[in-house]
Amino acid sequence: MKSLLQPLPNPVKLLRSPLSRRILLGMFVSLVAIEGILLVPSVQRRHHELLEQIEEVSTGKVRWIVTTYPAAAGKELLQHLQQLQADPMLQGVLGGIVYDASGNVVGSFGELPELGLEEAVHHRRQLFVNEAGRRYDIAWTTTGIGEGMLPDLSENHWLVLRHNADPTRQALMRYILRIAGLVVLIAAFITLVMLMLLNRLLIHPILALRRDLSLAGEAVSCDEPAPQFASLRYQRQDELGEVIVTFNEMYKQIWRAMGDRKQAEATLRQHNQSMQEYIEQVDQVTAAATALEEGRFYVESLDEVAERDDELGRLARMFQLMAASVERRESQLKQQLRELSIEIDQAKRQQQVAQITQSDYFQEIQADLKDFCHDEFWQA
């Protein structure tokens, strides 16, 4: 209710809003369409009234002629009707025709009516539209003028007058323009009033909600605390109020979810850091195995991993013990291998000497040496 008591907004500013323009256009077109639908029967009724005015004036004059000259018939009646063209009140009479009781043409004057006698029996008045314009033909009987069609009598004459109905079209157009202008003014006034009300009830809350959505987006993207939303001042018991309340609750849920996400991210980062350290220490154990295989392993390289209290620490300690044991066994094997190599070399040399001394060639040389005389060699 307080929002309704605020100063009215500038209509120009309202028209800058796409929603305001759509509401304005839809409401204005709807009002004009409804008034236009209601205007159609009104125009038809006005058209009928204009034609009735022509008929009333002509009927009065024809009744006056028949009453004033009751014995007039035939040519005399035609002359009296022809004088109606000069009557200033009947400037619209363009011509006429008179039929006798047998239906024969007594005479005519001016522009001949298109309404025939047979048609006049069923339709006493008829509007025609041709190249010359709009023409309105009206028929009477001398015995029943102004009282409808009476039975065909021997003294009865048919009188048919043609009227110029073009002025009725001009009068009808002026009537339509006058009513249309009034309709447009009424529609514009109602539309403007409704727009002012809708601006207070709909446009302003929607714009406030849009600004709040922008603020909420910035707060979420910048990871900032919840701002003060302007739309919360609209305490409404309708669909828009439910949307505002739902938006506020949604933002609270998002903010709680963001807090949970931050906590989960911190836990995940800590877990990832621990996992990264664990993987690095596993790589140290793997590198130690490779170094042990290549003979470059140092027991001190796994001291940090061996300090852990989990399975990896026990594995590192066992690996250090195993590496020390392997190193000791390797040293022993190397010593045994050196000793074995010496024994093998001595045995191999003895075997080679035995093979040489036991060969036939060595025996022959040894025999020759026994027979060789050293004194003779040097004397010679």
Q: What Cα–Cα distance (Å) separates residue 241 from each residue in 149, 227, 285?
A: 70, 19, 65
pLDDT per position as a tens digit, 351-368: 777 777 777 766 777 776
- Give the closest residue to 297 by CA, choosing from 332, 325, 267: 325
Amino acid identity of residue 128, one-letter, is F
State the Cα–Cα distance between residues 302 and 28, nearest whole angstrom.
Answer: 86
- Per cent of the chain over pLDDT 90 is 0
pLDDT per position as a tens digit, 114-147: 888 888 888 888 888 888 788 999 998 888 774 4
pLDDT per position as a tens digit, 57-101: 888 888 888 888 887 778 888 888 888 877 766 668 888 999 888
What is the token pair recorded at 7? 């100063």
CA-based R_g, the chain, Å: 64
State the Cα–Cα distance between residues 313 and 304, nearest whole angstrom.
Answer: 9
Report the predicted TM-score, pTM, of the whole model to 2 decimal places: 0.49
CB-based contact 124:138 (threshold 8 Å) = yes
Report phi then psi at 280, rounded to 5.
-60, -40
- Give the closest residue to 330 by CA, choosing from 292, 300, 303: 292
Q: What is the DSSP letter of 126?
A: E
- Per cent of the chain over pLDDT 70 is 84
The CA dihedral of 220, 224, 229, 230, to the nearest 10 degrees, is -110
CB-based contact 75:106 (threshold 8 Å) = yes
State the Cα–Cα distance between residues 94 and 106, nearest whole angstrom.
Answer: 18
pLDDT value at residue 154? 44
56-70, 243-257, 295-309, 311-325: which is most confident: 56-70
CATH topology of domain 21-174: Beta-Lactamase (3.30.450)
State the Cα–Cα distance between residues 179 and 266, nearest whole angstrom.
Answer: 75
